[in-house]
């Protein structure tokens, strides 16, 4: 039986994004920063989410202020063209993954966010 990513604990999924960036020499704080830029969560709110029993779906659907510029993110993640994903929550999930990929590839925060932070 396949597990729905949106039903998985945020506290189990998000550390994988952090680990991906850290393996490439980036920091946890940088991942928190791009996540904050995209979702509107403050770094403190993200820390609270990590300590809660929230699911990844609740994390995305409960975001305080999704940045409209996230819809401008283009490119492939896991072989899927982000801008062609029709389901809004899946697109947001893949967009965050793409932002962390760009961070891991050495992109600056300013380039990733379009200097909007």
Question: Would the pLDDT of 6 be above 70?
Answer: yes
Q: Which of 78, 99, 93 is nearest to 31 (CA)?
A: 99
Q: Would strands 80-81 and 76-77 be described as parallel, antiparallel, or unpaired?
A: antiparallel
**In terms of residue numbers, what domain contains 85?**
5-112
Specify the 3-state DSSP secondary structure of 40.
coil
Per residue in 80-112, pLDDT (tens digit) is: 899 899 999 999 999 999 999 999 999 888 888
24 vs 30: CA distance, rounded Å: 12
Place of tokens 């801008």: 83
Residue 77 DSSP code: E
Q: What is the pTM of this model?
A: 0.90
pLDDT digits (tens, 9 = 90+) for 34-72: 999 999 999 899 999 999 999 999 999 999 999 999 999
Q: Which residues contact 115 (CB under 8 A, 6 or more apart)?
A: none
**CATH code of the domain covering residue 93:** 1.10.8.290
**Residue 117 placed within a domain:** no
């Amino acid at each position: 039986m396949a597990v729905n990513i949106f039903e998985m604990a945020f506290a189990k999924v998000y550390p994988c994004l952090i680990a991906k960036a850290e393996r490439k020499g980036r920091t946890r704080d940088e991942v928190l920063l791009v996540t904050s830029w995209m979702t509107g969560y403050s770094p403190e709110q993200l820390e609270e989410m990590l300590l809660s029993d929230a699911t990844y779906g609740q994390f995305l659907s409960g975001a305080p202020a999704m940045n409209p510029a996230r819809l401008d993110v283009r490119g492939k993640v896991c072989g899927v063209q982000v801008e062609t994903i029709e389901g809004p929550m899946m697109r947001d999930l893949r967009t965050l993954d793409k932002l962390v990929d760009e961070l891991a590839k050495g992109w600056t925060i300013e380039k990733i966010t379009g200097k909007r932070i």
